[in-house]
Amino acid sequence: MDKNLKKRETMHRLCATGLEVFHEKGYYNTSLDDILKELSLSKGAFYHHFKSKEDYFISIIQNLVVQKVYALLVEPLNTHENPLPVILDTLEQALEPGKQNEMVYGFMLNDFLTEFNKRNAEISSYLKDIIKVWEVNLVSVLKKGKVDGHIARHVDCEGVASYIIASYLGMRTLLSENNNRQLKYNYIQQMKLYFNAIVEKRVEA
């Protein structure tokens, strides 16, 4: 096997396992010994790959969380159609309950944002950059929707993007400990009404 490929596979395995451990226990409740046990690594082997526990977590963000968030919330926005149904679908998929969905798509992001807030500026910055990428892409696709005639011209695209992100993160918090399908349903229905209010209304001839 190519050495670079093997190295990438090893890094992916280390990051995937670490992501699950950190999400389950929390970063500050996870010791280096916990990590070594889960990874079946010696301290020497760990420090061969990473400088510290913090460096390890940053590698997880860069190699895994960014890709997973991009895959579900950003990549689907590359559409030539009305962006509003696409955005709604990404939100609905991202709120789908179950551990498997969280580990596949990495939507423990909100938990980590809360945990590192005012405790670790560097890691918080990496996490907020992920949100910023989502925000920039939302604004871009919303502006294109205005140009294409799907969204009313008076709509503040930056404001809509901020509202979408804030409402999503809030719902993730509410659903994190409670698999309440009615709560999710109510949220999606309200988002539909909100999107309907910003659609370009066509006047019948």
Domains located in the chain, CATH noted = 3-197 (1.10.357.10)
**Could you give the CA distance from residue 103 to residue 110 in angstroms, rounded to a whole number?**
14
Query: Which DSSP letter does residue 203 get?
Result: P
205: pLDDT strictly greater than 50:
no
**Could you give the CA distance from residue 48 to residue 172 in angstroms, rounded to a whole number?**
36
| DSSP result, 41-58 | --HHHHHHH-SSHHHHHH
Helix and strand numbers, DSSP H then E, in the chain? 11, 0
85: pLDDT strictly greater than 50:
yes
Question: What pLDDT band is residue 153 in, cutting at 50, 70 and 90?
Answer: very high
Question: What pLDDT band is residue 121 in, cutting at 50, 70 and 90?
Answer: very high
**Could you give the CA distance from residue 136 to residue 118 in angstroms, rounded to a whole number?**
24
* pTM as predicted: 0.84
